[in-house]
Amino acid sequence: MRTLFASFFALFFLVFSATSNAQEKIVIGQSVELSGEATGKENMEGALAYFDWVNAQGGVYGRKIELKSYDDKRKPETTRLNT
């Protein structure tokens, strides 16, 4: 679980550093299991709650964060297609 969060935030900073200041918002994509027994809904909801807090504080250098989550149904091929 810690590795997942570390990877997520590493991806966040990578995406942030690669985006130009001309964009209005920062969009982060996430491939996660949203259907089935062991869902990643908690991860998605946690990220959304944090991004809502950051956005309420004014965003990152004035830019809002948006999370796009895609259901991979815990299938590697679907995950590959999502990313």
pTM higher than 0.75: no
* Residues counted in the chain: 83
50 Ramachandran zone, left/alpha/beta (phi>0; psi -120 to 50): alpha
Q: Which amino acid is at 39?
A: T
**Radius of gyration for the alpha carbons in the chain, expressed in angstroms and rounded:** 13
| Domain locations along the chain | 2-82
Q: What angle do CA 48, 52, 55 make, to 5 degrees?
A: 135
Query: Taking a C-beta distance cutoff of 8 angstroms, is the pair 72, 33 a contact?
Result: yes
What are the tens digits of pLDDT across the range 5-51? Answer: 555 655 566 555 555 555 699 999 999 999 887 788 999 999 999 99
CATH number (3.40.50.2300, 3.40.50.720, 3.30.410.10, 3.40.50.620) of 2-82 reads 3.40.50.2300
